[in-house]
Structure 1
């Protein structure tokens, strides 16, 4: 049994005869008669009472017609679902992120995507950058928002720069270097440093070491924390100074300053990354919107 058998059956019923159905479907009447006869033979039940002018459904035929219509409707629905999925309109999209870098633009992007694709189920999963790279390779998430992709993953993952977050010095309010408004890292050479752990923030850890090295010293590490909020708390507690990316989610405190650095390369990339091996049309739809969102955000900053 094939779907065309069911379509022929419905057409004969709706148009009242084999000849009328044949004209409607633009096929030979003999083809419809032969195919429906084969259908009756296959299921072992007569579906029509035939006369020279009219074909009338038998009682079993009437029941069969109801199911045939349901099957055809389900098949059409399956086609539409597949077409929508192909256009990136439906499905499940799993997005990895880490709160320390997303800022206010990330929630705005998610809201816009939900509005544009109401039938897509979004799953937001907070993960470190390293966890996201592993999850992308395994197909456990579809898109990740991370820092710069580490070299060992660059052959398997693609990424698109989304923004550059300036790195600032987190200092006690009464620190001498805070008075100037901007900070030359050389003025912090003798300070103890609180760093984000390289296990959770490899790109930031390496960037801090790089900036200090370019300023002519190696930071004296007093403490290491796993998240940026803990780094800030350590500075508040007097454990040392810190270098952190600045974004609009970071809280402000009365006893600390977040001072820009004078170094021209005092920034760190925030990227959108994905696995080409597990790419889909839905993923591509999201990335296209994210790129437009990045451009819009850039224009907003330039005109602000």
Structure 2
């Protein structure tokens, strides 16, 4: 639904003929401005700007909207003056983050809390998606920063690894799998099992397939019975006896500790992947994004 932030973003971009200038004047990040404009265009069902690499200009429908948007923004400024809200509005800085499932659910809450301790004016908007979509959003400057569990090829994405995550095989805790665990079988035993995997764009799946290929296990030899994107649903399916999976130890740890599931290392020495902070190499990180980076450095030195 159309909202005041979208109207303000549209007005300031049109007034300045620039997304970056609008972002500075509204004390928002450029990806936030871009998202507001995109959502407004979707809501109205029409493009509002003609974009080029060097400038932006209003479309015919954009020109129709401009005068109405100006009236709304002027009225908002008047309300701000009456109720002295201007200072509070200007102090808030929103940072838009795209994150794949494992970092979003198990690492980012603590990172955002740490960043907030240093700067209480920060606002966060978290978009949870798979690692491929994280790279797409960061590369296209739709978000400020990202977090991903796999390095996806993108010329504009820079990856800064900060957390070592182990991938493990997880199975129901029943006598059959207890026997396999006691026997310390070669990891190729999984070829004969019913396997549930994450979606194709998942960093967990991509890294798991790389490790299995290195161990001589071909994806076409796996008995894949289901694709489940949500780790919680996946783990509950495993607990119910539907099959086995390869998943982050972060996600499965609680279930293993309480005896619901069994965990198996993926080959000799286990399988590890890096969780990374992702940013666009074309731009310097904003000050608010740098605060996230500093929070990570404090938590994971």
Q: CA deviation at 1:229?
A: 2.2
- Write the mapping of 1:19-98 to structure 2, written as runs, cut at 5 A: 91-98=93-100
Pick closer, same or farther for the CA change 1:178–1:160 going to 2, 3 Å. Answer: same
Name stretches of at least 5 consecutive residues in structure 1 with no aligned partner: 1-79, 296-304
TM-score, reference length from structure 2: 0.59
8 Å Cα contact 1:169/1:183 also seen in 2: no
Q: CA deviation at 1:91?
A: 2.5
Q: Distance in 2 between matches of 1:231 and 1:243?
A: 10
8 Å Cα contact 2:215/2:267 also seen in 1: no
Partner SS for 2:192: coil
Q: Distance in 1 between matches of 2:207 and 2:139?
A: 25
Aligned twin of 1:212: 212
Pick closer, same or farther for the CA change 1:140–1:216 going to 2, 3 Å. Answer: closer
Q: Distance in 2 between matches of 1:122 and 1:217?
A: 41
* Cα distance per residue 1:230-265 (max 9 Å; x no partner): 322332333321111111675416442123334335
Partner SS for 2:189: helix
- Write the mapping of 1:1-304 to structure 2, written as runs, cut at 5 A: 91-102=93-104, 104-151=106-153, 153=154, 155-174=155-174, 175=177, 176-179=179-182, 184-199=186-201, 201=202, 203-218=203-218, 219-247=222-250, 251-252=254-255, 254-264=259-269, 266-279=271-284, 280-295=286-301
Q: CA deviation at 1:185?
A: 1.1
Pick closer, same or farther for the CA change 1:213–1:128 going to 2, 3 Å. Answer: closer
Pick closer, same or farther for the CA change 1:193–1:103 going to 2, 3 Å. Answer: same
Q: CA deviation at 1:288?
A: 2.6
Pick closer, same or farther for the CA change 1:104–1:137 going to 2, 3 Å. Answer: closer
8 Å Cα contact 1:136/1:142 also seen in 2: yes
How large is the Cα RMSD of the aligned pairs? 3.0
Aligned twin of 1:61: none
Pick closer, same or farther for the CA change 1:210–1:139 going to 2, 3 Å. Answer: closer
Structure showing greater Rg: 1
Aligned twin of 1:4: none
8 Å Cα contact 1:145/1:270 also seen in 2: yes
Pick closer, same or farther for the CA change 1:183–1:135 going to 2, 3 Å. Answer: farther
Q: Distance in 2 between matches of 1:272 and 1:117?
A: 20
Q: CA deviation at 1:90?
A: 6.3
TM-score, reference length from structure 1: 0.59
* Cα distance per residue 1:9-52 (max 9 Å; x no partner): xxxxxxxxxxxxxxxxxxxxxxxxxxxxxxxxxxxxxxxxxxxx
8 Å Cα contact 1:168/1:246 also seen in 2: yes
Q: How many residues align?
A: 206
Q: Distance in 2 between matches of 1:249 and 1:256?
A: 8
